Amino acid sequence: MGTLTDWTAHEALERMGRGEVTSRELTQAALERIASVDSEVKAFLTVTPEEALAQADTIDARRKRGEPVGLLAGIPLALKDNLCTTGVKTTAGSQILHNFVPPYDATVVRKLREAGAVLIGKTNLDEFAMGSSTENSGFFTSRNPWDLTRVPGGSSGGSAAAVAAREVPLALGSDTGGSIRQPASLCGVIGLKPTYGRVSRYGLIAYASSLDQIGPFSRDVTDCALLLNAISGHDPLDSTSVDLPVPDFTAACIPDVKGLRLGVPKEYFGAGVTAEVAEAVWGAIDYLMELGATVEECSLPTTEYGLAAYYILAPAECSSNLARFDGVKYGLRTKELAGHIGLTEKTRDEGFGAEVKQRIMIGTYALSAGYYDAYYKRAQQVRTLIRLDFERAFETFDALLTPTSPVPAFKIGEKSDPLEMKLADVCTLPVNMAGLPGISIPCGFANGLPVGLQLIGKAFDEATLFRIASAYEQATDWHQRCPALSV
Amino acid sequence: MPEYEPVVGMECHAELLTESKMFCGCRNTFGGEPNTRCCPVCLGLPGSLPVMNKTAVEHVMRTALALNCRINPHAKFDRKNYFYPDLPKGYQISEYDVPIGVQGWLDIEVNGETKRIHIRRVHLEEDTGKLFHMAGEEESHVDYNRSGVPLMEIVTDFPPDIHSPDESRAYLMKLRAILTTIGVCDGKMEEGSLRCEPNVSIRIKGTEEFNTKTEIKNLNSFRAVQRGIEYEVERQSALLERGEKIIQETRGWSEAKQQTFSQRAKEVEQEYRYFPEPDLVPLHITEEWIEAVRATLPELPDVRARRFREEYGLPAYDAAFLTDTRALADYFEEAAQQSGDAKAVSNWIMGDLARLLNAGAKEIGDSPISAKDLAAMVKLIVEGTISGKIAKTLIEEMYTTGSEPAVIVEEKGWKTIKDSGAVQAIVDKVFADNPEIVVAIKEKGQTQKRGFLVGQVMKAAQGKADPQEVNRLIDAKLNE
């Protein structure tokens, strides 16, 4: 039966339901696992053992009394540290928020508490979710559990690593250009970016508001669906969250792809995708055909402009979203006080890292009078074209299949060129530009490192992604492989 | 010296009367202990998101309709980016290129002539917090109670229609009358709920060019707006006469010195990096919505003034004065209907009541004399129960005590003396006490001295005698 930390959430829920194990035992096991491996994996920025055990005891007591419990009652869960948690430090991976303790919960955090989840800690990320490796974290770099000399991906690298290293069965991340799917791919776990508007962004420290979306990490498809169930739905506090009924996604995990029409956009296998990755992904595609899906090549011609347009729009929004960090109200304040302009400039200079500064500069430039039409407006037009590309493809196909990341996990410090780093998101960011759902599932290994298959769905049709992912998962055992951490 | 003509653009900000702030549930009221009406949203805490206040949008739609604007069906919100400690997010949510209302107008009357002032746009934005300083401290403090209060901006069109300080004032008064009438703003300039920043330039009369303009800030009364513009016109004329240049700048208004002073030069156009607010969805204003809002519009000041002239026979001046605010017009109309003498009510409101309110720095809404009581007082005069002279004292008493006029009149014994015998006795006594005056009138024809006798009788009667009766009795006695 393996150890407690090997169980998926739904397995642990069943066992708790049968009285075989308590939430305290699960939580204790998770805390012990963190204590033994996290000095190497470095997934967590903050661990809250006391709060977690207290929450576990509350759930255990409730179960014992036979009272109804929530969807995730007693399951240890980690949160990316850009999700606001009442009373628990929330840094967004930045020195500028090194001491910020929010007075409120993000909507997803409130929902998780209501679902009975045991919030165990906050995970590392690239500063303000800007990056693909956690190397931009203002604190430290997390490591890939499959090879500790390599990155876990990013920006939600801490959450991906924590799930892969069996520290927690579930975690939340956020995805602006691939920040859930790419680290899921690099760490060999499942990561889903829901449709824009499916999950409330209230309490997610914004990077690029029109692209950000919160989503789950898990080790199997059912767990992913379970966590999405817990966090989805319209939120009156987020005007961009959509008021649509939320289906039971676990019910959508039907391992049957017969009759589904799947498209493979050729542009996603272009330059940059390594032969090993392409081979693993094509292997998965062949498998899905064998399972009864119809697969055809298709084209999304505007894809090649996606990266350029993204790196106008996301920095433009970030230059504005990050303006609030001025040393006046919370977070870091420079000790060199010299009037309000000096205060703002010095605080921001001390508090932000190089990548964040660069994106703020790019965004500020792109929005400036005289450049707006050439950059921001043009990029919005490209965005529309990308969305139309997808819409056209979805007239024919139920879902699209691509690699998640063109490369497996790279060495820490290997990608020193910022542009090269940005190419890590070339397959994922068009999905954010179009606001569509995308999931990365493990589909093999390249030289011992996990490779991910990305499934892209129609807006608000996460159900089809779960169906395909379930079928593939049932037929393969990639998701059961476990990194051999030296403990 | 050539004759200069002012060219004035008016930019006004009105805090909207809503229960809650523009993007959160915090209460929208004036004042209070600093930072007691704030939440993660209006403090701009990381991760917080705005949610549109529908009432605020409807107030702007109401204003746009009252100002004869076209309403943009796809109005949207934009971010105006700049750093300032009173701006918690580092940007203000505003409307840039697609505001709710565009291309409207209102009419003003100056020197008996009607003039149409065109309006360029009416848009919605959020207010900022306020910086304040404590005596003896070097640091600044910020109060975010005002942060996120819905603010409406109304800008006149270009080229400007306004060419005098009088017109500026008339525009602002008419605007305030409309805003208070439709109930979107309380119009209190001294509390800053209605703020006006005129842009002033001058040119040689008859020419069409536009010269360097200055913007005047901190004008918190109609008088200050008029004086501020007058001062700027004089200052700019003097500069041009001396052959000096006018600098484009923002100038403050000093109430103490009655002068404008340089605040900040505007050499470079501020770079606000506007872009569409991604946290809000664009508005979708349907015809049905517009019509539903239109249906809530009350009678507008111009229409009401016309009706006051026609229905109550008021002079144009009275009608305009009384429709200055909705509260005043409502007050007048209630009193006029109850008293049956509209012109008398108008006179009392514009005269004694206005004087008393001004002295106490009160608005009509705070008047200790209710419309009902004012009507009762006018009725007492009309029915002859009290004299107009006594009423002058009575209204002061009503204002001070808040009591009903009949009660005061009873208590003080101010009823007109109806008993002719009693008045006759006073007349007889005054004649007896002033034989030389009687002789002067009767024998030397010094009829101007007759007034003295009337005065003495009224004085002896403590103002309670009916003046007509007094005159009749005096004439009779002189002709004896």
Q: In terms of CATH architecture, what is B420-478?
A: Orthogonal Bundle (1.10)
Give the helix ranges, DSSP H, for A65-119.
107-114
Taking a contact as any Cβ pair under 8 Å apart, which residues of chain B between 17 and 46 contact chain A?
Answer: 40, 43-46
- Best mutation target, A329, A330, A376, A381, to test chain B (most B CBs within 10 A): A329
CA distance A410 to chain B (A): 31
Contacts of A103 in chain B (CB under 8 A): 40, 45
Closest-CA residue of A relative to B276 is A317
pLDDT average, residue stretch A59-69 = 96
Q: Say whether pLDDT at A416 is over 90.
A: no
Per-residue pLDDT band at A461 (split at 50, 70, 90): very high
- Which structure tokens are listed for A77? 């869960």
Taking a contact as any Cβ pair under 8 Å apart, which residues of chain B between 62 and 91 contact chain A?
Answer: 79, 81, 83-85, 88-91
How many Cβ atoms are within 10 Å of A279's Cβ, its own excluded? 13
Which tens digits make up the pLDDT trace of A238-273? Answer: 999 999 999 999 999 999 999 999 999 999 998 789
Three-state secondary-structure class, residue B428: helix
Contacts of B28 by beta carbon, 8 Å cutoff, 6+ apart: B15, B16, B17, B18, B19, B20, B21, B149, B150
Q: Is residue A323 part of a domain?
A: no
Residue found under tokens 């009509």: B364
Closest-CA residue of B relative to A238 is B49
d(CA B200, CA B160): 10
Which tens digits make up the pLDDT trace of A113-158? Answer: 999 999 999 999 999 999 999 999 999 999 999 999 999 999 999 9
Contacts of A236 in chain B (CB under 8 A): 51
* Among candidates A202, A203, A340 on the partner chain, residue whose Cβ is nearest the Cβ of B85: A340
Q: What pLDDT shows up at residue A2?
A: 63
- Determine the structural domain holding residue A132 and report its residue range: 4-263+396-480
Would the CB atoms of A237 and B46 count as touching at under 8 Å? no
* Among candidates A97, A344, A369 on the partner chain, residue whose Cβ is nearest the Cβ of B83: A344
d(CA A128, CA A94): 7
d(CA B119, CA B107): 11
Q: Is residue A250 part of a domain?
A: yes
A363-372, B37-46, B134-143: least confidently modelled range: B134-143
Q: Is residue A338 part of a domain?
A: no
Taking a contact as any Cβ pair under 8 Å apart, which residues of chain A between 392 and 411 contact chain B?
Answer: none
Contacts of A83 in chain B (CB under 8 A): 47
Per-residue pLDDT band at B266 (split at 50, 70, 90): low
* Among candidates B40, B81, B91 on the partner chain, residue whose Cβ is nearest the Cβ of A103: B40
Q: Is the peptide bond before A200 cis (omega within 30 degrees of 0)?
A: no
Catalytic residue among A94, A159, A179, A405: A179
CA distance A367 to chain B (A): 5
Per-residue pLDDT band at B340 (split at 50, 70, 90): confident
pLDDT average, residue stretch B29-55 = 94
CB pairs under 8 A between A and B: 108
Which tens digits make up the pLDDT trace of A208-240? Answer: 999 999 999 999 999 999 999 999 999 999 999
Q: Say whether pLDDT at B269 is over 70.
A: no
Closest-CA residue of B relative to A372 is B273
Long-range contacts of B369-373 (CB under 8 A, 24+ apart): B369/B395, B369/B398, B369/B399, B369/B402, B371/B330, B371/B331, B371/B332, B371/B334, B371/B335, B371/B338, B372/B334, B372/B335, B372/B338, B373/B398, B373/B404, B373/B405
Would the CB atoms of A97 and B44 count as touching at under 8 Å? no
Q: Is residue A424 part of a domain?
A: yes
- Cβ of residue A236 closer than 8 Å to a chain B Cβ: yes
pLDDT average, residue stretch B275-294 = 96
pLDDT average, residue stretch A376-385 = 96
Per-residue pLDDT band at B459 (split at 50, 70, 90): confident
Would the CB atoms of A103 and B79 count as touching at under 8 Å? no
Catalytic residue among A23, A142, A155, A241: A155
> Are the C-beta atoms of residues A426 and A294 closer than 8 Å to each other?
no
Q: Say whether pLDDT at B301 is over 50.
A: yes
- Best mutation target, B94, B97, B273, to test chain A (most A CBs within 10 A): B273
Contacts of A320 in chain B (CB under 8 A): 79, 81, 90-91, 273, 275
- Cβ of residue A346 closer than 8 Å to a chain B Cβ: no
* Sequence spans of domains, chain B: 4-289, 299-412, 420-478
Closest-CA residue of B relative to A314 is B278
Q: What pLDDT shows up at residue A115?
A: 98
Per-residue pLDDT band at A1 (split at 50, 70, 90): very low
Contacts of B50 in chain A (CB under 8 A): 239
Q: What pLDDT shows up at residue A423?
A: 83
- Which structure tokens are listed for A186? 């690099």
Q: Is the peptide bond before B159 cis (omega within 30 degrees of 0)?
A: yes
- Cβ of residue B50 closer than 8 Å to a chain A Cβ: yes
Would the CB atoms of A367 and B49 count as touching at under 8 Å? no
pTM to 2 decimal places: 0.88
Q: The domain that contains A181 carries what CATH number?
A: 3.90.1300.10
A320 catalytic? Reply is no
Would the CB atoms of A320 and B50 count as touching at under 8 Å? no
Contacts of A301 by beta carbon, 8 Å cutoff, 6+ apart: A267, A389
Average pLDDT, chain A: 96
Number of domains in chain A: 1
ipTM of the complex as predicted: 0.95
> Are the C-beta atoms of residues A102 and A90 closer than 8 Å to each other?
yes
* Among candidates B88, B91, B281 on the partner chain, residue whose Cβ is nearest the Cβ of A240: B281
Instruction: Measure the CA dihedral A6/A9/A15/A16, to 10°.
Output: 120
Residue found under tokens 């005056």: B437
Q: What pLDDT shows up at residue B267?
A: 53
Would the CB atoms of B85 and A324 count as touching at under 8 Å? no
Q: Is residue A42 part of a domain?
A: yes
- Which structure tokens are listed for B470? 């007094």
pLDDT average, residue stretch B23-39 = 92
Q: Say whether pLDDT at A486 is over 70.
A: no
A232 catalytic? Reply is no
> Are the C-beta atoms of residues B98 and B76 closer than 8 Å to each other?
yes
Higher per-residue confidence, B15 vs B469: B15
Helices B467-478 and B450-460 cross at an angle (nearest 10°) of 130
- Listed ranges A459-468, B313-322, B388-397; the one with the highest mean pLDDT: A459-468
A80 catalytic? Reply is yes
Would the CB atoms of A323 and B84 count as touching at under 8 Å? no
Rg of the Cα atoms in chain A:
21
Contacts of B40 in chain A (CB under 8 A): 102-104
Higher per-residue confidence, B327 vs A392: A392
